Amino acid sequence: MRPTEPFRREHEELHGHLAHIAEAAREVARVEREERAAMVARVLGFLNGTLVPHARAEEEVLYPEWARLVGFEDAAVPMVHDHEAIAERIERLEQADLDDVAALQELLYGLLALIEVHFRKEEDIQLPAFDAAPAELTQGVLERMQAAAGHAHEH
């Protein structure tokens, strides 16, 4: 088992929610306003309740540690730019007119693409550095990540 497996499992859970964003992006055009509102609210609930706290914990814990591991202070800046682009679209989705289906679809598809490629970068570029680092360091980072995201694994 790779040392970062718990973090990868957390991402797997998040990937499941991305399927709901994809479904909402497709369906908002076909459903009544009330159902559309519920779909957007559900997506926003995931984004604000789960994804944003996860991103905040990364900026606090994972990214600075990763920058130290790769030996370049600004290494994680592009990852923070991704978070900012995602946050900006979340804000626009919160303020979007529910009758403007084209705008809702643009935002949902945009969020989906940004989040998917962002996860891929974390999994393929950042986590291998932690798998190769001393086990104690990686364990400490994972524990601090869970504490910072506010949902420590209780098993």
Residues that bind Fe ion (CB under 5 A): 55, 58, 122
Task: Name the region of 71 (left: φ>0; alpha: ψ -120 to 50; beta: rest).
Answer: left
Closest approach of Fe ion to the CB of residue 4, in Å: 11
Is the Cβ of residue 39 or residue 63 nearer to Fe ion in the bound state? 63
Closest approach of Fe ion to the CB of residue 86, in Å: 8
Is the Cβ of residue 36 or residue 83 nearer to Fe ion in the bound state? 83
Do 128 and 120 form a contact (C-beta atoms < 8 A)?
no
Closest approach of Fe ion to the CB of residue 54, in Å: 6
Is the Cβ of residue 23 or residue 123 nearer to Fe ion in the bound state? 123
Is the Cβ of residue 7 or residue 104 nearer to Fe ion in the bound state? 7
Closest approach of Fe ion to the CB of residue 127, in Å: 9
Exposed/middle/buried for residue 4 (C-beta within 10 Å: 0-12, 13-18, 19+): buried
